[in-house]
Amino acid sequence: MKNYKGLIYACLLAVIVLFTACSNEGQADQNGEADEETENGATYEWKLGWNSGLEGDTKGEAAIAFKEYVEAESNGRISIEFFPNETYASSPEMIDAVQLGALEMAIPGANELANIIPQYSALSLPFLVETPEEAYAVLDGAVGEQLKELSQDHGFVALTDVDLGFTQITNNARPINTPEDLRGMSIRSPNDVSLIETFRAFGSSVSTMAYTEIYSGLAQGVIDGQFNPLINIYDQNMQEVQDYLAITNHTYYYCYMIINQDVFNSLDAELQEIVRKGAELARDASRAVVEESDAYYLEKAQEDFVEVTYPDLTLFQEAVQPVYEELESVMGAEIINDIQAFLEQYRN
């Protein structure tokens, strides 16, 4: 009996020792994982939304370049999920979501952000910049840096600009050769006072429907026409429901890649630098897309539209001069003067 009790005691002791060893091993594993996480730092999962397509689209290619660089250079600490074509929300709603922190990142138009920061309408002023090189020089210089810094008073950080290109006009009423040809037309515009006043100066009525609703608005005859860079016109297949295209280059379009300010500030210095570098690559990717696509779509447009016109822009430029004075009260004369002074020096 005594031997039997001894055997039970030995078995219990062995079980206790085994259990303790396993517990210690498990604790060691947990500590190992914790140490690894501490060594590598916190991880982040971000959502990035915009209102147009993915591959072959300026915003889409910018997003791809950003994601590839940031995920690789952060060793997976940052992962990014895409929401193109307003699959997260409408573009204005995405701006609100980024400010509130519900959405980490978005690529809204500068003219959409102008409802928060009026100076972002400045490059929308008609015929202010004449070439892509001029637009890039403004955005890459001191004026562009000042514009980006304005974002930090509004809950987000403007990481970089994203190129869209110069806008052209399409419609279903008639070919456009002079401002008079636009009189009485219903034209869709972003909700940007610079652009709205520009087309009012041409004698058009203006509708501000969402970008993703333009096709149906044109197809149903709710609006006669719209204006967008060629790549956006084809992104939304507007050539299917429009007869006339006028090459006017009347305003330069660009976006900002924005991130919630608290999210950006939560990153360590190394990750912030990775994000900023990724944003530079995104900007360069968008500019490359515009450069490559403009010639392609212009040639394609000769077949897809009933008529393509190349108006003499002198009359258009004269018609919009009052817009500059009107917009001084909205965005302030300083930003307009700064850009004009820079361009005068740049052109000389």
pLDDT tens per residue, range 300-326: 999 999 999 999 999 999 999 999 999
pLDDT at 31: 35
Q: What is the DSSP letter of 109?
A: B
pLDDT at 33: 34
pLDDT tens per residue, range 247-294: 999 999 999 999 999 999 999 999 999 999 999 999 999 999 999 999
Q: State the Cα–Cα distance between residues 72 and 209, nearest whole angstrom.
A: 38
pLDDT at 105: 98
Q: State the Cα–Cα distance between residues 57 and 276, nearest whole angstrom.
A: 21
Helix, strand or coil, per DSSP, at residue 162:
strand
Residue type, 338: D
pLDDT tens per residue, range 20-57: 344 444 433 433 333 334 356 899 999 999 999 999 99
pLDDT at 41: 81
pLDDT at 39: 52
Q: Is the pLDDT of residue 70 over 70?
A: yes
Q: State the Cα–Cα distance between residues 126 and 75, nearest whole angstrom.
A: 44
Backbone angles phi, psi at 306, to 5 degrees: -60, -40
Domains assigned to the chain: 43-163+253-305 (3.40.190.170)
pLDDT tens per residue, range 182-199: 999 999 999 999 999 999
- Please, which residues have CB within 8 angstroms of residue 84's CB and are 6 or more apart in sequence? 49, 50, 51, 52, 53, 54, 57, 59, 60, 63
Determine the average pLDDT of the residues in 94-121: 96
Q: What predicted TM-score, i.e. pTM, was given to this entire model? A: 0.85
